Amino acid sequence: MKKIRVVLAGQPNVGKSSVINAITDARLHVGNFSGVTVEKKEVTLQRDGFEIEIVDLPGIYSLNAYTPEEQVAKQYLLHEPFDLIVNVVDANVLARNLTLTFQLMDMQKKMVLVVNMVDELQKQGGEIDRKRLEELLGIPVILTSAKEGKGVEEIIGTLIALYQAPKPKNKLFYDERIEEQIGKIVRVLRKSPHFQDEGYARFVAIRLLDRDEDVYKIIHDLPVFIELHELLGSIYRELELEFDEESTADMMNDERYALAKAAVMEVVKKPNLKESLTDRIDRLLIHPVFGLPIFLFFMWLLFQITFTVGSLPMELIDGFFTAVSEGVKNVLPAGPVQSVLADGVIPAVGSIIMFLPNVLILFMGINLLEQTGYMARTAFLLDGFMKKFGLQGKAFIPLVSGFGCTVPAYMAARTLKNPTDRIITMLVLGFMSCSARLPVYVLFIGAFFPTAHAGNMLFLIYISGALLGLLVARVLRSVLFKGEPEPFVMEMPPYRFPSLKALGMELWIKAKLFLKKAGTFIAGASMIVWFLSSYPAHPEIRADFMKGPAHLAGAQKAQIEHQIRARELEESYLGYIGKAIEPVFAPLGFDWRMSVSVVAGLAAKEGVVSTLATLYAVGDADEKSHTLLKRLRENISLKAAVAMIIIIMVYSPCIAAMSTFWAEVPQWAWRGFYLVYPNVLAWLLAFGAYRLLDMLGY
Ligand SMILES: Nc1nc2c(ncn2[C@@H]2O[C@H](COP(=O)(O)OP(=O)(O)OP(=O)(O)O)[C@@H](O)[C@H]2O)c(=O)[nH]1
Ligand SMILES: [Mg+2]
């Protein structure tokens, strides 16, 4: 089967990922702000005997890429082999988008222009003359609304037809004076065997006028470089004088913008401009005084709902797993198999799945923030505030993603252009509690605080994490990095009604991942915990206890049984391990079971709850009447519980997150620092809180 390689390129937030989702069964992440996609993603489909591979790239404003995620896109366009470019543009801001279109056309590849978001333009009474645009550019143009699924069905057919047809002639020419110089550069380039392809030579010549460092690197090591270097020097001088510009790069930008404006004047029937809904909403939401309180209110509301609504089905789920566990005990004969299932895997998995509703509600909140366009506003609102702490406003986006999962949040930090801003953001990102820590919080809040304040407590925990992040950023900035965070320009997309389909898909994917993790990773880990806590067997413990008065009955018998199992647990492998690490955590009031759970959380934060569930279930004689909540309340003091919450909030994130940091940050010094400091800080803060509560008499 013939393979067609297609690359999707365009400016940020024009709907590239949405277009792919609309024409394939892919489920790429979309959101209404710039920089949703930060790495390339491939999707393949088959049609008419072709295998079509479509690559989604992060958005780029121009080929003069700055940020790491723009570099991903640029490097792909420069160095990877592909047959066709699909350039997606936003119909509402066509002129600005076309400047990139022209740069892509310079590549002299076969190209299709997808003008997306026409639904929004049409709603305001605007219109685009497709035929005229095709004539002007000399490439196929398709008008689409990826959100409403309109026009997108034409894309694949057009791609295949274009693939089979000869390449249309280049119609994009710049000012004659510029073209003349391009011609000179091309002639020199073509002396080299690398530039036999005329189109490629033209592209390189234009990029050299754009002062493109990445392209400069390509020619730098070639023999023609000496001749070229001299030529370029004189060309730059000549053009800069002629166009009265500081650099030929500016000249090219102006040139493209002029061309784009002219094209738009010809093909777009302007919408009648009245004050848009977005402007009216923004008058309230980015109000200098009310903006921030409104945002905080939304956040507070989200955590209230997360706790209260999310906790409704909890008992049902808990009951279900208790019943399953009982069922297993009735069906299977007593022995290790029965025990590993009924005491190990099922309670552990159940203790995690109980929190699925909470986690989904939290993700829903984040998704709505992303989809509506409010995210970019809050970044703008918080910019001034965050700058005081040495972070730039744009860092808000990775920080908020961190409330969902730290892994994509580290990736999202790629949108920060300045390396210092980026590393500071990444170092404090772990303090934004991810959704996997939510179960620990909900569990401990449920056990130790009155229900009426539960939502507030949850809000408080998340807010303190965020504030701690800001404070640490401040310290890092003044101790390790001098200077100010970079001022940032962030585009404000218009408000968009969230696509419920995208929301549903997102939640569905999150739920699947969550259940899968519970069913595989947590189930597996709980087997290990069960094994370590059940062996080695110590028959002598039971024998010892049974030496006493025989025929104990009722409550007394249960109590003895309880003591036996607690002793057995202490003499297990896990008991030994726990005892070995207990001294580290003893100053925080943790017993060895809590200590083991905290360490288990380094693998994955869900492991904290599932390990607690296993360890506090064993050693309890009267299982049915005791929920994990009650057991925690009976075994753990309030001050130790607070210390525990602080540890979970601050210490290292899970292995997956740590390895992402590792991959994104090449410097060894930072990697080492990152491994150590959150844990030290967590311990110190937890200790401080524990002592304080102790002094206050709790
Ligand atoms: N009204 C309307 N909204 C759209 C359309 N296509 C996409 N959107 C919305 O526009 C926003 C951006 O879509 P994405 O697909 O994430 O854009 P992208 O180009 O991949 O963005 P980056 O990955 O950040 O470069 C989302 O909120 C989409 O729901 C459309 O045709 N009409
Ligand atoms: Mg995208």
User: What ligand is nearest to the CA atom of residue 33?
Assistant: 1
Which of 164, 194, 209 corresponds to the end of one domain? 164
Question: With 80 as the cut, is the pLDDT of residue 618 above it?
Answer: no
Are 570 and 551 in contact by the 8 Å Cβ rule? The answer is no
Q: Is the domain of 395 the same as that of 502?
A: yes
Residue 12 lies in a domain: yes
Spatial CA neighbour of 605 closest among 258, 292, 351, 263:
351
Spatial CA neighbour of 623 closest among 326, 382, 331:
326
Give per-residue pLDDT as tens, 79-99.
999 999 999 999 999 999 999
Place of tokens 């923030």: 369
- Best residue among 17, 30, 88 to mutate for probing ligand 1, ranked by most atoms within 8 Å of CB: 30
- Best residue among 18, 24, 27, 505 to mutate for probing ligand 1, ranked by most atoms within 8 Å of CB: 18
Class of residue 246 by CB neighbours under 10 A (exposed 0-12, middle 13-18, buried 19+) = exposed
Q: Is the domain of 76 the same as that of 19?
A: yes
Distance of CA 16 from the midpoint of ligand 2 (Å): 5
Q: Is the domain of 368 the same as that of 468?
A: yes
Give per-residue pLDDT as tens, 40-77.
899 999 999 999 999 999 999 999 877 888 888 999 99
User: C-alpha distances in angstroms, 655 versus 405, 585, 593, 599?
Assistant: 12, 21, 21, 12
- Best residue among 8, 13, 70, 495 to mutate for probing ligand 1, ranked by most atoms within 8 Å of CB: 13
Q: Is the domain of 215 the same as that of 98?
A: no
Worst-scoring range by mean pLDDT, 160-164, 176-180, 488-492? 488-492
Q: Is the domain of 155 the same as that of 202?
A: no
Residue 64 lies in a domain: yes
Residue 563 lies in a domain: no
Residue 562 lies in a domain: no
Distance of CA 207 from the midpoint of ligand 1 (Å): 29
Pocket around ligand 1 at a 6 A CB cut-off: 10, 12-18, 30-32, 34-37, 58-59, 116-117, 119-120, 145-147, 371, 496, 499
Distance of CA 298 from the midpoint of ligand 2 (Å): 26
Atom of ligand 1 nearest to the CA of 88: 19
Rounded distance between C-alpha atoms, residue 229 and residue 236, angstroms: 11
- Among protein residues, the one with the nearest Cα to ligand 1's atom 8 is 15
User: What ligand is nearest to the CA atom of residue 69?
Assistant: 1
Residue 28 lies in a domain: yes
- Best residue among 145, 147, 394 to mutate for probing ligand 1, ranked by most atoms within 8 Å of CB: 147
Distance of CA 315 from the midpoint of ligand 2 (Å): 39
Domain span at residue 42 reads 2-164
Residue 553 pLDDT grade (very low, low, confident, very high; cuts 50, 70, 90)? low
536 preceded by cis ω (within 30°)? Answer: yes
Which of 164, 197, 215 corresponds to the end of one domain? 164
Give per-residue pLDDT as tens, 299-319.
999 999 998 898 888 888 888
User: What ligand is nearest to the CA atom of residue 20?
Assistant: 1
Which of 218, 243, 268 corresponds to the end of one domain? 243
Distance of CA 59 from the midpoint of ligand 2 (Å): 7
- Among protein residues, the one with the nearest Cα to ligand 1's atom 13 is 15
Q: Is the domain of 415 the same as that of 464?
A: yes
Phi, psi angles (nearest 5°) of residue 392: -95, 155
User: What ligand is nearest to the CA atom of residue 97?
Assistant: 1
- Among protein residues, the one with the nearest Cα to ligand 1's atom 23 is 37
Q: Print the SS3 string covering 528-590.
A: HHHHHHHCCCCHHHHHHHHCCCCCCCHHHHHHHHHHHHHHHHHCCHHHHHHHHHHHHHHHHCC
Rounded distance between C-alpha atoms, residue 509 and residue 349, angstroms: 19
The whole-number pLDDT of residue 372 equals 92
Distance of CA 122 from the midpoint of ligand 1 (Å): 17
Q: Is the domain of 152 the same as that of 204?
A: no
Give per-residue pLDDT as tens, 333-389.
888 888 888 888 998 898 889 899 999 999 999 999 989 989 888 888 888 888 889
Rounded distance between C-alpha atoms, residue 390 and residue 385, angstroms: 9
- Among protein residues, the one with the nearest Cα to ligand 1's atom 21 is 13
Atom of ligand 1 nearest to the CA of 116: 31
Distance of CA 493 from the midpoint of ligand 2 (Å): 14
Rounded distance between C-alpha atoms, residue 199 and residue 185, angstroms: 13
Rounded distance between C-alpha atoms, residue 593 and residue 532, angstroms: 12
Distance of CA 38 from the midpoint of ligand 1 (Å): 14
Distance of CA 87 from the midpoint of ligand 1 (Å): 14
Question: With 90 as the cut, is the pLDDT of residue 279 above it?
Answer: no
The whole-number pLDDT of residue 580 equals 92
Distance of CA 20 from the midpoint of ligand 2 (Å): 9
Percent of the chain with pLDDT over 90: 56
Question: With 80 as the cut, is the pLDDT of residue 554 above it?
Answer: no
Percent of the chain with pLDDT over 70: 96
Residue 653 lies in a domain: yes
Are 460 and 433 in contact by the 8 Å Cβ rule? The answer is no
User: What ligand is nearest to the CA atom of residue 12?
Assistant: 1
Q: Is the domain of 24 the same as that of 99?
A: yes
44, β-bridge pairs: 53
The average confidence (pLDDT) of the chain is 89
Residue 283 lies in a domain: no
Residue 510 lies in a domain: yes
Atom of ligand 1 nearest to the CA of 21: 15
Q: Is the domain of 206 the same as that of 342?
A: no
The whole-number pLDDT of residue 621 equals 46
- Among protein residues, the one with the nearest Cα to ligand 1's atom 4 is 147
User: C-alpha distances in angstroms, 36 versus 54, 232, 370, 504, 642?
Assistant: 18, 38, 9, 18, 36
Rounded distance between C-alpha atoms, residue 393 and residue 386, angstroms: 6
Are 200 and 167 in contact by the 8 Å Cβ rule? The answer is no
Q: Which helix (H) or strand (E) holds 44?
A: strand 41-47
Total count of domains within the chain: 3
User: What ligand is nearest to the CA atom of residue 35?
Assistant: 1
Q: Is the domain of 99 the same as that of 40?
A: yes
Total-model pTM: 0.80
Distance of CA 349 from the midpoint of ligand 2 (Å): 34
Q: Is the domain of 410 the same as that of 517?
A: yes
**Amino acid occupying residue 586:** A
Residue 619 pLDDT grade (very low, low, confident, very high; cuts 50, 70, 90)? very low
Contacts of 641 (CB under 8 A, 6+ apart): 444, 447, 448, 632
Tokens of 318: 């808990």
Rounded distance between C-alpha atoms, residue 305 and residue 199, angstroms: 58
Q: Is the domain of 351 the same as that of 226?
A: no
- Among protein residues, the one with the nearest Cα to ligand 1's atom 27 is 32
The whole-number pLDDT of residue 13 equals 93
